[in-house]
Structure 1
């Protein structure tokens, strides 16, 4: 009887240990590293092309299974007034267009990872949909990106074209309307999460 009870306790202990360790090895959460990440907004005008760099990013990614790149959640937040061009007058026009007095952040939240395809060596191509919120307007977008899960971190890289007017953002103007910007933007990102 004593041997039977001892064996049951050993099996139960191993089962509990397996449940806790398998959960830790399978489900993982990574936090965005602002210093190593980059997000650029590229646009055009009737004078020259322009670029904004996001200086303040935060966010998280959660995997159901890291080895298979089964993504549970992604949340990325950009501080709107951290988008800088290196020219204060352009930055002021950008902040006005983005209504940063009322809307401090730009956010992306994953809704669904529709497909994940392995490219080999810990790199995956992901097709997803998510909610992008700019200047207080939320819009569901499709977003394709690559995920590299090597080296104890996750690196998301990709780009997305958007139209400012879809988010009720009026393209900025300068010099009393003499300089006008195009409605279409390209967002390029390399997001490092550890």
Structure 2
């Protein structure tokens, strides 16, 4: 099963060759110290849907090549099972899965396309990511931060509008409670190289 987290390339930054274009492959693992969640708001209360990182226990193979400060990726996909998200209660979990049409589209996929390093900004890079939700795919640019301690630490936030995926936010109590169309993907990942 193909899986790749869209921000994983940072973990191999120190191993690039000096050649202009070289194809690389690496195997990585997302540790249990990682966090991935989707945040949303309504006119009444904010909510958070936490992803169970234990679902990402298998090693992930990534393929990439680097040209100066640009890293391009091929077949670098992370698959998130919708059932892995917990929003804190049976009712809101049901609403979340209804919104994502989990019965028809049980997964969210994130495909990393490109990373642009910022040579004058330490530990910052821009990523181009394609996200597929409910059968529709959109491309997004996002900023990430990365650090190396014992493992790679990678973090970032991406705001997106669910209407871009032809999804409609649920309304409750005859429309008195309205969920915002804007959601945020928030991640703090700890990544080991194998």
Task: Identify the TM-score tier after normalising by the shorter chain.
Answer: 0.7 to 0.9
State the Cα distance separating 1:99 from its structure 2 match: 0.6
Give the TM-score taking structure 2 as reference length. 0.72
Q: Does 1:125 align with 2:127?
A: no
State the Cα distance separating 1:192 from its structure 2 match: 2.2
| Structure 2 equivalent of residue 89 of structure 1 | 91
1:150-191 alpha-carbon deviations (Å, 9 max, x no partner)? 42x332200011001111111122334332100011111112
1:75-134 alpha-carbon deviations (Å, 9 max, x no partner)? 3222112111111101001101101111111111111113343655xxx21112121111
State the Cα distance separating 1:39 from its structure 2 match: 1.0
Q: Relative contact order (alpha carbons < 8 A, sep ≥ 6): 1 or 2 greater?
A: 2
| Structure 2 equivalent of residue 110 of structure 1 | 112
Structure 2 residue runs without a partner (length 5+): 1-14, 17-23
Write the mapping of 1:13-28 to structure 2, written as runs, cut at 5 A: 26=16, 27=24
| Structure 2 equivalent of residue 149 of structure 1 | 148
| Structure 2 equivalent of residue 50 of structure 1 | 47
Distance 2:97 2:89 in 1: 12
Structure 1 residue runs without a partner (length 5+): 1-24
Distance 1:155 1:103 in 2: 30
Distance 1:62 1:37 in 2: 22
Write the mapping of 1:21-40 to structure 2, written as runs, cut at 5 A: 26=16, 27=24, 29-40=26-37
Tell me the matched-pair count: 164
Structural RMSD (CA): 2.6
Distance 1:63 1:37 in 2: 23
Preserved CA contact (<8 Å) 2:70 2:117: no
Which secondary structure state, in structure 1, belongs to the residue aligned with residue 30 of structure 2? coil
Distance 1:137 1:125 in 2: 29
| Structure 2 equivalent of residue 168 of structure 1 | 166
Preserved CA contact (<8 Å) 1:77 1:105: yes
Larger helix share, 1 or 2: 1
Question: Moved runs in structure 1, 4+ residues, more than 6 A?
Answer: none
